[in-house]
Structure 1
């Protein structure tokens, strides 16, 4: 009996060591049991059993846990990861692709260790396509664009690379499109996606919303003003191969980040905060006025009969990186700011102190805050600017006569601007 117990001791010791390591990493990365279970694809019961040292994980479970903590299996098992690396370095420049139009992709150097780093330079001509096999999920690419503007489209976000800029790309499962399409696919099932419409280069921070020049809103502050006046946004997220949309009022903080920060909160029972990871790219759509436009409202229609119906609107697309803020102090501050903003016009503004403290405490615990750092803003002001001034003006007046004053006034302003 003693011999059997002795033989089992090493396994028990291993299980306890892994349990300590999991608890340490979960605490360091501020992960709940539910969040770790979700990231690793394991059941919560399995995670609890492992944390309690009651079971020894298989190599498959270790791999899942390592991926959830963004570590190698070696670092997962070692709480003092070795700083010694034996990298493989290649420093001879190689041209891996050229085209008849003058495009090229050159790999200048690569360092392969626990993480692979590659140094590239690209020149991309409109219409050219470059495809390559997938790297491992730990690959990092440093890219210099010497000519052109390639577009890197991943499942979660789109990155634009301007000429003469260096930028790191984390290559996991992406497809580069636009003038350059470079497909990265991890093993496993995948679905082919059609080319992007309006295939042309664009500047960094301008995501691919179709905006003809006469409908563009180039002024950043004008776009922020529109968000401030119309704070109900549609938060679009992507998780597990599906899209989701939530209608949420946002509070805009212009003082934070390079382009501003959007703050909001959702019900704890709303799974959106669990389905996104910190740093995920998201889209928030803000819509202001909109209205149907009849061709009969255009004076030119009655002369030439060459007009058709349309729908005018004002929208802003805010692209950004999301952070989940499951923090009571942050949630209270967010609720207080939103309340102050929307109650300011009331004769006797409501404030959180008007309700019993225990009631407010319960309500605050039932919500989770979200913070979105804006990385790109695109506005579209479709006000019939491609029509004659008299057509724009008369359509605006017809809308005002029908009580659609927001769009009517916007069209009258567009007519006045075009007539100058």
Structure 2
């Protein structure tokens, strides 16, 4: 993040939190005994806990992450991203002095990561996660749909984790350093790619 151009930095906390809600699968990284440990974990943000919110999720009890906690950690959330070809810039015709780049949006949550295995709290985590990801479906699955003894067994197989966020960092690199004409060329080029990710990036370049 330190090497990213300052003009691409996001400082708007609601924008970063919106990215977390839209792309909840985090790359969760801690350092322990000179080694880095990375896990990919869906997390949800509880904005009412702490000045910067708290990220909550769970891992398998067999996961080697949770016995190492508490630790400082960073959770990386990846938003829309796409390759940008220099051939899309109308300005390329002037002198050819253009190179490829990548447009992307990310949010980094830094803070203290803790584990918990209280059954009631774990049940609440599962309820919240399923409710958030099932709510838009015509027949949403609910945790109560499964037999209670089965859920109890599943709860014994997981450990809860929560990251108390101490600071947010974000980058939204969407061709802000290009002229309006070049940005229009990027939008046209991305839409021609015909992929959902390219279309998402095109919409952000237009903003």
Give me the TM-score of the superposition, normalised by structure 2.
0.95
Aligned counterpart for 1:281 among listed residues 62, 72, 85? 72
Q: Which runs of 5+ in 2 are unaligned?
A: none
Query: CA offsets per residue over residues 70-111 of structure 1, 9 Å max, x none?
Result: xxxxxxxxxxxxxxxxxxxxxxxxxxxxxxxxxxxxxxxxxx
With a CA cutoff of 8 Å and minimum separation of 6, indicate the structure with the bigger relative contact order: 2
* Whole-Å separation in 2 of the counterparts to 1:249 and 1:209: 25
Q: Which residue in 2 is equivalent to 1:257?
A: 50
Q: Deviations over 1:36-70 (max 9, x none)?
A: xxxxxxxxxxxxxxxxxxxxxxxxxxxxxxxxxxx
- Structure 2 residue aligned with 1:229: 22
In the other structure, the counterpart of 1:185 is none
Q: CA RMSD in A?
A: 1.1
Conservation of the 8 A alpha-carbon contact between 1:231 and 1:249:
yes
- Give deviations 1:147-195, integer Å, cap 9, x for gaps: xxxxxxxxxxxxxxxxxxxxxxxxxxxxxxxxxxxxxxxxxxxxxxxxx
* 1:215 Cα deviation after fit: 0.4
Q: 1:275 & 1:255 partners in 2: Cα distance?
A: 26
Q: Confirm whether residue 213 of structure 1 aligns to residue 6 of structure 2.
A: yes
For residue 357 of structure 1, the aligned residue among 140, 144, 148 is: 148
> How many residues end up aligned between the 2 structures?
204
Aligned-residue offset at 1:286 = 0.4
1:228: how far off?
1.1
Give the match's secondary structure for 1:398. Answer: helix
- Contact 1:397/1:412 (<8 A) preserved: no
Quote the residue 1:308 is aligned against. Answer: 99
Deviation at 1:245, TM superposition (A): 0.5
| C-alpha displacement of 1:209 | 3.0
Aligned-pair distance for 1:304? 2.0
Please tell me whether Structure 1 or Structure 2 has the larger radius of gyration of its CA atoms: 1
How big is the shift at 1:276? 2.1
Structure number with the higher strand fraction is 2
Matched residue SS, 2:139: coil
Give the match for residue 366 of structure 1.
157
- Deviation beyond 3 Å, 4+ runs, structure 1: none
> Aligned partners of 1:305, 1:395: CA distance in 2, in Å?
16
Q: Does 1:246 align with 2:39?
A: yes
1:242 and 1:309 map into 2 onto residues whose CA distance is: 33
Determine the C-alpha separation between the residues in 2 that align with 1:397 and 1:227. Answer: 28
Separation in structure 2 between the aligned mates of residue 255 and residue 210 of structure 1, nearest angstrom? 32
Give the Cα–Cα distance (whole angstroms) in 1 for the partners of residues 186 and 25 of structure 2.
27
Question: Partner of 1:334: helix, strand, or coil?
Answer: helix
Task: Give, in whole Å, the separation in 1 of the partners of 2:88 and 2:189.
Answer: 7
